[in-house]
Every structure is written in structure tokens, then in C-alpha cells.
A and B are shown apart, each in its own frame.
Chain A
């Protein structure tokens, strides 16, 4: 592995903290929110890596840090081996030719006052990629690639549905021919029957252009469709990272097991047989994360060691990385206690 070229994206021990401030004049820092608290991962050229987790896990903050919308607090982000934290303005602009982003809310991420064609061409203008005629042609090409009618370029976003707007966002991201696209819940706000269209579109585009994706989602089923590898985040850290099929079918980390046991399947027979892994309590505060393993306050198999020491994210025999004291190097994991759904539903909260 040591002689292989650097991955397209490498993140090392990345930390992004938010500061909660109080006071009117002085705005002193009163608390640090450890949104991303030491994350390392990599994405190869042409690969799609999924990042899943529930609210408060830090996946959106991580996405925004990677695209330089938020400055990191510590750690490194490398694109093609080169550190991209601390770039000056000109370098940042160049960076945006390589890394682009698609956002969750199709109704919020397109400027309502601009025509669709101008939205898509904006990157071309900024990077001075071609004159007016070339831009027009490129916009028409891009609209065709996202399966939209080229004469939609002269219309405004409000005339389009959610699914169409996401296609416009994707066209915009593709315009400057990036190598990596960070997508933050790109299909979550869309109807089920439209989601499938966009998921397929993304897969085709990625394959045809050898693009890399960092795909953030709370929906494991969508991630499974698009991403060869997946990272599961909880409270600012990665709990498990590996081949999507393996993580989905033989989850090793207790949090991954709980997450998977909670996803409802569109099949009554499967639902009848479902055994839920119960999680106690609520998500702890990211301002004062629990000592030791972050997950221990809710983990069904937590022991003393979990409170005292934080398990490192460690590689196991099948190539995965897992952060749990009870997962062996031979990729055997704990068997979680499983309850029939009616019992786990009345477990006490709060």
C-alpha cells in the first residue's frame, strides 16, 4: 500500500469545532461544540465513499470543511497529496475546480434571481473557461447530460420541481469538471419515485467521468446503491468504515448494528422477523462528549473499559476499520442483545 499514489482526497485527524458565544460586546467563547473530532478517511479517484450517521454526528460539518466552507480547527485535508488547508484566495479558487458540492435543499441552493443557464455557467465565468458562445454550448451539453431540456437554460429555478432543481445543481457542479463532488443529502428532500432517477443519474455520471463522490446521507439504503465503501459516524467520530456490503450485512460496531436494525424494510415479512437492537437514552451533548468511547452511554454492551478508554479506529482482518473494544482483529464482533420490537419500544427515555 505504501507505494501506491496518494488518494484523491485524504483527511487526517480532522477536527472542526464550533464555538458558542455569549455576551453582547465581547462575545466570549462559552462552549466548544466538537462537531468533527478527529476523523481520518480517504477517497480514491473514481470511488464513491458514503458517510452515514444521524443528526449531530458531524457529517454535514465534515462535508463543509472538506469543501472549505468552514475552516478546520485542526488536522489536514489533502487533495492529490497536497495540503489544502490554509490556502490563499487564488489557490482556493483553483481548489474549487477540483472539488464541488451539491446541497440538500433544492429550493434553497439555487439563486432564485438567476436564470438556470447562468447558474450552471457561473463556475465557467469565474474560472474564465471559454467565451459566451462556448459557455452556451457547454450549458446545453450539461443540461442534456442531466436529462433536462436544453431550452430550460433561459428559465428561472422557481419553474422547476425539486428533482429538476437537483439536476440543475448537479449540472452546475459538473460544469468546471471537478474530480471530487461532495454531496450532502442530495436526494433526501425528494419524493421516492424521483430519488431513484437522481440516484441512477449520479451513478451513471460517476462511472462515465471517473468522478469521486463523498456522499453524505442518513439513508443507508441509498448509500448502498451508490457507494462501494461507507463510514459510519457518531458524535464527531468514525465508528466503522469499510466495504458497504460487508458493513451493511455483517455490521461489527454496536452502533452500526443498532442503526441497521432500525431501518424499516418495505416488506412485511422482513418486518415481522425484525429484532431491534435497543439504544438507551438520547444523544449526548457534543459540547461535553462522554469520556472513553463516545457511544458508551447508549451502547447495549458497554462495560467499564468503555467508560475509561476510547477505542481507536483499528483495521481488522477483512479490511474494515472499527472503533470498539469488543471487535476482534479477526473481524468477529459482539452479538448485540436483540429484543422483539414491542419491548424495545417502551424502553425509558430521558
Chain B
């Protein structure tokens, strides 16, 4: 077993998930038409586990994260249905007041671009201590001490200098470390990271992901890693959910997903991605066509138009997730 990807903490009986999402749906009303961004998504995360939510643009993975934390823009009319149990709180139905006590405290977030998440007008120190003071109600001095300790834990060589700096004075990698420090500052039990390294260079990306991994292991933190990058999923997750057109089309322990993918979309992705780790065998094998519009989803499987295995049933009705192996589910009529 990979020593880097520590085993999830589990008791003798089945662990209680930190987050249990059932049949999440988020539909937007745009110009009189219904945009089904998230269309029946279910997953769970156990303590100490990292799950990957992988998909391309339009898959609904980011809207899923935003829906869970009630962070969708209020100006866009939307309807959310389903449930997301976090302890005894249903995040979908919780009041705004309840969400404020959960967000940043029990559930932490890291987004893609730290430059837009950090306030350019405030020092790092103010931003790291803000959440600590709000949620933990400690003195300014204690908040500062905690902040300094956190910056040290995320690998900063000179935490005091960073506390006095402004975001623009730091590199992208350092800003993302600051975001991680802020995320961990109130000792959350769940971390939601949406493309945390996409804007970073590959050498920095590796450092940041390794850091997240080791911090999560140390603290028994549950993590949801949202990404389009299959390499990141392969190296950093225990379990992977593949999203397409607002649905989960395949889910499995990460090892099994990569060694025995069962959904044609997953198979297509793995065959089409250029690699450095294998012998080249001629041109890439792309998936034909492009992702479907989120507006007009026909009655059948959303992947049918691009699927080399689609049959008449694929066009007629949407397949549900079915068990095809240990903890391995796939939504496909054909199951090649």
C-alpha cells in the first residue's frame, strides 16, 4: 500500500461518514430554460479519507462544491434539492446563520486562484487571524500566535515576515500555502479543495499537494479534491467519483478505477490523455465530439452521443449506478 496515501481511520464497524450527500440536484433557471448543472449526485467521505471528484468543464463538479456550502450567487435563481448530512446538519436545508458557523470552521475551503480569494488590501496576518478570531473567540495576541504556528506548519521559513506581507508580495505557491493555513486555522473536519493547484507551476503543484496530503494524514482530516487532472487523482485520493454532465457516471477505489475502468467515458479519458510514464503507441485516442449542453439533456445516457458502445437503450433512458465490483459502481447499460 502506498505509504503516502495513508489508510482512512476506521473502527471495527463501518465508519460514520463526515459528509453524506444524497441525490444532490442544482438547477438554474436561465432565460426561461432549465440548466441542470448537478443532476442527482451522491457520495460520502469518511474521516481521514480523500475522495476525488473528477470531471471536465460542464461536469458540475464545482457547482456541487458551491451547492454544498450554499455559496451559489444569490443573484442567479437556482433550486437545490437532495440532502448533504454533515453530522446532524443538512447543509442543503440549513439556515444562513448555521452555514456561517460551519463554513470556515468545520468545513474549510480552498479555491483555485489564491489571488482572488485573498484580499489584496489586507496583510496576510489580518486575513489568517480573521477566521481564528471570529470562530474561536480568542485574543488578538493568541490569534497571532496560532497564525504564526500555522504558517510554520504549512512550510513557511519566515512566518513573521509573511504575516506582515501583502498578498501581491508573495508567489502563487506561497499564497496557496496561506490559503491552506487559513483553511486549517479553525480545525475543520472536512476540507474542500476545488482545483487547488491548477493555477500553479507543476513543481509547486507537487509541493502543495504533498503538503495537503501530509497535513490531512496528521489530522485525520477528510478531504474532497475536485480536479480535472487524472494524475492528481491517481496520486492523492483513496476513492474517485467521475462526473459527466451533472451526474456521477463511475465511482470506485482509485486503484480500481485506473486499473479497471468500466465506464466508456472513464476509459476514453484514460486513453486520450498524453502521458510521460508509458511508451508512446502512435497518436492519442481522443473522445469524439464535445460535452453536451447542460440545457437540452435528452432522455438517454448523457454520454451516448460520444460513446463508441452506445446501443438503442443508451439513447432511450438514463442508466442508474450499479455495482460492478467491490465498492465499484458504474452508470452504463452496456458495461463494456
- Report whether chain A binds chain B: yes
* B287 x A193 contact (CB < 8 A): yes
Does A270 lie at the interface of the complex (its beta carbon under 8 Å from any beta carbon of B)? yes
**With an 8 A cutoff between CB atoms, is B273 at the interface?**
yes
Min CB–CB distance A58 → chain B (angstroms):
14
A344 vs B155: C-alpha distance in the bound complex, in angstroms? 10
Query: Taking A196-B285, A259-B202, A264-B229 as contacts, is the C-beta distance between A350 and B162 under 8 angstroms?
Result: yes
Which of A40-48, A170-178, A271-279 is the contact stretch? A271-279
Decide if B207 touches A271 in the complex (CB within 8 Å).
Answer: no
Q: Is A108 close to B, CB under 8 A?
A: no
Do A342 and B214 have beta carbons less than 8 Å apart? yes
Contact in complex: B231, A342 (CB < 8 Å): no
CB distance from A275 to the nearest CB of B (A): 11
Chain B, residues 135-164, CB within 8 Å of chain A (1/0): the string is 000000000000000000001111001100
Closest chain B residue, CB of each to CB of A219: B274
Looking at B25-33, B108-116, B126-134, B275-283, the stretch in contact with chain A turns out to be: B275-283
Q: How far is the CB of A320 from chain B (nearest CB, A)?
A: 18
Cβ of B4 within 8 Å of any chain A Cβ, yes or no, is yes
- Chain B residues within 8 Å of A341, by CB: 4, 206, 210, 213, 235
Is B173 part of the binding interface, using a Cβ–Cβ cutoff of 8 Å?
yes
Would you give the 0/1 interface string for A216-228, flagging 1 where the beta carbon is closer than 8 Å to chain B? 0011111011000
Q: Are B3 and A345 in contact (CB under 8 A)?
A: no
Interface string of B174-206 (1 = CB under 8 A from A): 100100000000000000000000000111111
Chain B hits for A219, CB < 8 A: 274
Q: Is the CB of B207 within 8 A of A349?
A: yes
A197 and B286: CB pair below 8 A?
Answer: yes
Whole-angstrom distance between the alpha carbons of A219 and B284 in the complex? 15
Within 8 Å CB of A220, what residues of B? 276
Q: A196-B285, A263-B202, A345-B214 are in contact. Are A270 and B207 (CB under 8 A)?
A: no
Q: Is there contact, CB below 8 Å, between B201 and A54?
A: yes
Q: Mark A247-285, 1 if CB is under 8 A from B, else 0.
A: 010000000001111111111111110101001001100
Chain A binder among B10-18, B91-99, B264-272, B325-333: B264-272
Q: Does B61 belong to the interface (CB within 8 Å)? A: no
- B230 within 8 Å of A (CB atoms): yes
Nearest Cβ distance between residue A290 and chain B, in whole angstroms?
16
Interface size class of B (residues with CB under 8 A): 35 or more
Complex Cα gap A161–B292 (Å): 11
A192-B258 in contact given A200-B283, A349-B174 (Cβ < 8 Å): no
Interface size range of chain A in the complex:
35 or more
B2, B233, B254, B276: the one within 8 Å of A224 (CB) = B276
Determine whether the beta carbon of A192 is less than 8 Å from that of B201: no
Contact B209 A345 (CB under 8 A): yes
| A340 to B3 Cα, complex, angstroms | 9
A3 at interface, CB cutoff 8 A: no
Residues in B neighbouring A269, C-beta threshold 8 A? 255, 259
Docked Cα-Cα span, A265 to B272, in Å, equals: 13
> Is B262 part of the contact surface with A, judged by Cβ < 8 Å?
no
- Tell me the smallest distance from the CB of A345 to a CB of chain B, in Å: 2
Which of B276, B283, B284, B286 has the most chain A CB atoms inside 10 A of its CB?
Answer: B276
Contact residue among B57, B173, B254, B270 (Cβ-Cβ distance under 8 Å from A349): B173
**A24 an interface residue at 8 Å Cβ cutoff?**
no
Q: Is the CB of B214 within 8 A of A267?
A: no
- Closest-by-CB residue of B relative to A52 is B202
What are the residues of chain B within 8 A of A54 when measuring CB–CB? 201-204
How far is B233's CA from A93's CA once the two chains are assembled, in angstroms? 47
Shortest beta-carbon distance from B114 to chain A in Å = 14
State whether the Cβ of A13 lies closer than 8 Å to any Cβ in chain B: no
Residues of B within 8 Å of A345, CB to CB, are 155, 206-207, 209-211, 213-214
Separation in Å of the A67 CB from the closest CB of chain B?
24
Which residues of the other chain, B, contact A279 by a CB distance below 8 angstroms? 203, 207
Majority SS at the chain A contact face: helix
Bound: A54/B56 CA distance, A: 23
Q: A264-B235, A265-B234, A266-B230 are in contact. Are A192 and B269 (CB under 8 A)?
A: yes
Task: Report which of A262, A272, A282, A350 forms a contact with B206, defined as CB distance below 8 A.
Answer: A262
> Which residues of chain B have C-beta atoms less than 8 A from A186's C-beta?
none
Q: Which residue of A is nearest B238, CB measured?
A: A268
Checking B172, B234, B258, B269 against A264 with a beta-carbon cut-off of 8 angstroms, the contacting residue is B234
Known contacts A225-B274, A276-B210, A282-B171, A194 near B234 by CB under 8 Å:
no
Least distance between B304 CB and chain A CB atoms (Å):
15
The docked-state distance in angstroms from the alpha carbon of A248 to that of B280 is 12
Interface string of A187-199 (1 = CB under 8 A from B): 0000111111101
Quick check: B290 and A161 within 8 Å, CB to CB?
A: yes
Complex Cα distance A347/B173, Å?
13
Q: Enumerate 18 A-B pairs (CB-CB under 8 Å) in ascending A order.
A: A192-B269, A193-B286, A196-B285, A200-B283, A220-B276, A221-B276, A225-B284, A260-B276, A264-B234, A267-B234, A268-B234, A270-B234, A270-B277, A341-B210, A341-B213, A345-B155, A345-B211, A349-B157
Which positions in A face B, CB cutoff 8 Å? Answer: 54-55, 161, 163-164, 191-197, 199-200, 203, 218-222, 224-225, 248, 258-272, 274, 276, 279, 282-283, 340-342, 344-350
| B residues with CB within 8 A of A | 2-5, 56-57, 155-158, 161-162, 170-174, 177, 201-207, 209-211, 213-214, 217, 228-236, 254-255, 258-259, 268-270, 272-277, 280, 283-288, 290-291
Q: Closest 9 interchain pairs by CB? A: A345-B210, A264-B231, A271-B235, A196-B286, A266-B230, A54-B201, A272-B2, A196-B272, A262-B206
